Amino acid sequence: MALKLFAGCFIVLCCCFYVVFLVGVPSEVLAHQLSVFAWVEGDNVKVQGKLPKGKHPKQGMVFVYDGNDRLLLQKKIQPDGTTTFPLKNWETGLKILLDIGHGHQSYWILTPFDIKQQREEKMKQ
C-alpha cells in the first residue's frame, strides 16, 4: 500500500514539474529574447532591435566589427530601438552587435555580398 502511495505521489510531482516547466520556462525565455536587424540604405546602415510582442529596447549600445573582428564603431540606440551609422570599411563584411545590458545581446552579419547587393538595389530605385 505504501509503495502505491509513493508511486502515485511521484507521478503527481513529475506532472507538476512538467507543467511548471512548460508554462514557466518559455515565458521567461521569451521575456528576454532580443532580435537585431540591419540593412543598407545608400551610404548608411540602419539597425533595429526588437523584443517579443513588438516592443523595442529603449536603451543599449551597437558595436560594429569588420570581418576581421576589429571594432570599428560603437553607438547608442535611440529610444525606438534604432540607430544609423555611415557605411565604411565594409569590404570584409560587418558584424553588428546590439547589447541592451544584463547579458542580453544579439547580432546581425552583413556580408560583403549582402552590402554590395543592397547598395545596387538602392541605386536602381
Q: What are the pLDDT digits (tens) for 37-86?
A: 999 998 999 999 999 998 999 999 999 999 999 999 999 999 999 999 99
pTM: 0.72
1 band by pLDDT with thresholds 50, 70 and 90: low
Query: Quick one: which of 53, 56, 119, 114 has its CA closest to 82?
Result: 56
44 and 4, same domain (yes or no): no
Same domain for 94 and 50, yes or no, is yes
Does residue 94 have a pLDDT over 80? Answer: yes
pLDDT per residue as tens digits for the range 3-26: 454 444 455 444 444 443 434 333
Total number of domains in the chain: 2
For the chain, counts of helices (H) and of strands (E): 2, 7
The pLDDT, as a whole number, for residue 123 is 72
Both 17 and 43 in a single domain? no
What is the H or E stretch that residue 79 is in? none
Q: In this structure, are 87 and 107 located in the same domain?
A: yes
**57 shares its domain with 104:** yes
Q: Which domain holds residue 58?
A: 34-124
User: What confidence score (pLDDT) does residue 28 get?
Assistant: 37
One domain for residues 59 and 113? yes
Q: Are residues 67 and 95 in the same domain?
A: yes
Pairing status of strand 61-66 against strand 94-99: antiparallel
Which residues are 83's β-sheet partners? 47
